[in-house]
Amino acid sequence: MNPLLRAGDWLILLASISVVATLMLHYWWQTTPGERLLIHQNGAVFLNAPLTQNRIIDVPGPLGITRIELKNRQARVLSDPGPRQLCVRQGWITHAGDVAICLPNRISLEITGTTRPYDSLDY
């Protein structure tokens, strides 16, 4: 007797479970609203501002200026002199614990909430 589920069935089964898991993580895991934007430059706090502000922040680093936008309680990196543009492509970050790191320019953004959830940066 043929198996009830074929290779493609298993593939779709597993892919769909991972979609559900990703959605759960995204929407349910860490929905603590962000309160402040914390920018570090070379390990030192460059800015700690409430998310309610709407502004553009230029942060100087060893490679040049990293431009950060703060708007509608979200933050993103508008431009960065780094080669791979990882932090720019990450897009908006908004929940407490979200981080974007522009490693080449030694700049990191972090959204903090009223209580700071644990993540790898705390170790």
Q: Which residues bind other proteins (CB under 8 A)?
A: 2, 4-13, 16-17, 19-20, 23-24, 27-28, 31
Q: How far is the CB of 34 from other proteins (least distance, A)?
A: 16
* Closest residue by Cα to residue 37 from 119, 115, 108, 123: 108
What is the distance between the alpha carbons of residues 108 and 86, in angstroms, rounded to a whole number? Answer: 12
Between residues 10 and 119, which has the closer beta carbon with respect to other proteins? 10
Q: How far is the CB of 27 from other proteins (least distance, A)?
A: 5
Between residues 12 and 56, which has the closer beta carbon with respect to other proteins? 12
* Closest residue by Cα to residue 85 from 70, 74, 100, 69: 100
* Closest residue by Cα to residue 52 from 35, 33, 76, 32: 35
Between residues 61 and 97, which has the closer beta carbon with respect to other proteins? 97
